[in-house]
């Protein structure tokens, strides 16, 4: 059965990197996929006066996977909510998955092969801040039910990807009730799973990752700590433009570049689309098309090994030249 992928180009550099990702997907998966398109973000607002149009939501519900380029937030708009976050929450995408690995020996730290899984901040952990007389009060609520779902998904993903060890990163010393509950549920849900399991203070986990990358196989944490761990790991493999991200639930997933829309940071034509392309490969993984996904990763690695890369990682290729190089390698794979 043909799988339906909804492409949401979004704002900023989103359309450019999503165009690259779609081109690579078509070459890798061909007739096994059908690409739909929808509007989201500022570009959608210009057309429909909505940041998340009803038509886009309908397509998202019916799609097997979504690839999105990111949106430029408008904090001045009355009642504004980030439409990508709304979409994830509406579709119950409760786990955020990031993969970190060097694409070639010249870029990044050898030995990094990390799967980082965190909870979606809109479903797992809520934080409410209120101003006080001499400061700010912060109230955090951690959902035990969604912790269980997160750890169950972690076990499933780790098994699918043939991982061996899962480390739970936390700060129980600082938050003895909230983080200790997170750790307790971790051990209960992973009991008898067959994985090596351990828990570790998030600072210690970051230190171990940097000192000895192979020691970290799978890391699971809340979004607050996971965002910092993701920044450390991204720096170890070359940056956010090389890192894929997926938000997944029980029925679907949304896959996007780690770097976001970055509307003013990069000139047109030389944007690095690697993160979007690798995120599209994750979408194929999530739909049961791992062979096609692995072809994409192998093709990207080959292009990097030959230096046919964009200026941000030391090459001189344009976005289109890099994308065409990946497509050529895929075509030669047969």
* Residue 5 scores a pLDDT above 80: yes
- Give me the long-range contacts of 77-81 (CB less than 8 A, separation at least 24): 80/51, 81/51
Report how far apart, in Å, the C-alpha atoms of 195 and of each of 164, 204, 211, 218, 221 are.
5, 21, 23, 10, 17
Q: Which two tokens stand for residue 225?
A: 């700590």
Dihedrals phi, psi of 246, to nearest 5 degrees: -135, 140
Taking residues 171-176, report their average pLDDT.
93
Rounded-to-integer distance, Cα 70 and Cα 9, Å: 7
- Give me 10's structure tokens: 């979004």
Q: How far apart (Å, rounded) are the C-alpha atoms in residues 11 and 241?
A: 16
Residue 299 pLDDT more than 80? yes
- Any idea what the Cα angle at residue 216 is, between residues 244 and 102, rounded to 5°? 40
**Same fold across 1-97+242-334 and 109-237:** yes
Residue 268 scores a pLDDT above 90: no
Q: Which pLDDT value is given to residue 264? A: 59
pTM as predicted: 0.94
Domain ranges of the chain: 1-97+242-334, 109-237
Looking at the predicted structure, is the pLDDT value of residue 163 above 90? yes
Contacts of residue 302, defined as CB under 8 A and 6 or more positions apart, other chains included, come to 329
- Model confidence pLDDT, tens digit, residues 79-108: 899 999 999 999 999 999 999 999 999 999
Q: How far apart are CA 331 and CA 236, in angstroms?
A: 31
Instruction: Find out whether 140 and 127 touch, Cβ atoms under 8 Å.
Output: yes
Q: What are the distances in angstroms from CA 67 to CA 70, 285, 294?
A: 9, 13, 17
What whole-number distance in Å separates Cα of residue 155 and Cα of residue 190? Answer: 7
Alpha carbon distance 266, 44 (integer Å): 22
Arithmetic mean of pLDDT, 9-22:
95
Say which CATH topology domain 109-237 has. Isopropylmalate Dehydrogenase (3.40.718)
Report the C-alpha gap between 36 and 33 in whole angstroms.
10
Per-residue pLDDT, 300 = 98
Mean pLDDT, the chain, integer: 94
Query: Where does the pLDDT of residue 127 fall: very low under 50, low under 70, confident under 90, or very high at 90 and above?
Result: confident
Q: Are 261 and 72 in contact (CB under 8 A)?
A: yes
Listed in sequence order, the DSSP H helices in the chain are 14-29, 42-48, 54-62, 83-90, 144-160, 178-190, 202-211, 223-237, 274-286, 290-305, 319-333
Quick one: pLDDT at residue 128? 84
Fold of 1-97+242-334: Isopropylmalate Dehydrogenase (3.40.718)
Give the integer Cα–Cα distance in Å for 17 and 192: 42
What token pair was written down for 178?
């909230």
């Amino acid at each position: 059965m043909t799988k339906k992928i909804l492409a949401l180009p979004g704002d900023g550099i989103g359309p450019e990197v999503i165009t690259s990702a779609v081109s690579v997907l078509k070459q890798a998966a061909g007739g096994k996929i059908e690409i739909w398109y929808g509007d989201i973000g500022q570009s959608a607002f210009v057309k429909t006066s909505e940041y998340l149009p009803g038509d886009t939501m309908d397509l998202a519900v019916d799609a097997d996977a979504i690839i999105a380029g990111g949106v430029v937030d408008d904090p001045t708009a009355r009642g504004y909510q980030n439409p990508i976050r709304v979409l994830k929450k509406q579709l119950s995408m409760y786990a955020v998955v990031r993969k970190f690995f060097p694409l070639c020996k010249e870029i990044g730290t050898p030995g990094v092969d990390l799967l980082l899984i965190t909870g979606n901040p809109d479903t797992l952990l809520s934080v409410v801040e209120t101003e006080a007389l001499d400061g700010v009060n912060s109230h955090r609520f951690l959902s035990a039910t969604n912790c269980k779902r997160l750890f169950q998904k972690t076990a499933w993903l780790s098994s699918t990807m043939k991982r061996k060890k899962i480390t739970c990163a936390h700060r129980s010393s600082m938050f003895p009730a909230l983080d200790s509950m997170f750790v307790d549920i971790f051990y209960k849900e992973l009991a008898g799973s067959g994985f090596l399991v351990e828990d570790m203070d998030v600072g210690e986990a970051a230190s171990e990752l940097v000192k000895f990358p192979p020691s970290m196989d799978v890391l699971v944490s809340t979004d607050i700590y996971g965002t910092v761990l993701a920044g450390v790991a991204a720096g170890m493999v070359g940056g956010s433009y090389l890192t894929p991200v997926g938000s997944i639930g029980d029925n679907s997933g949304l896959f996007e570049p780690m770097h976001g829309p970055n509307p003013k940071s990069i000139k047109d034509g030389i944007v690095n689309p690697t993160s979007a392309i690798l995120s599209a490969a994750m979408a194929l993984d999530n739909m049961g098309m791992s062979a096609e996904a692995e072809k994409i990763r192998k093709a990207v690695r080959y292009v990097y090994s030959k230096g046919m890369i964009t200026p941000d990682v030391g090459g001189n290729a344009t976005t289109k030249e890099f994308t065409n190089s990946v497509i050529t390698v895929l075509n030669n794979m047969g």
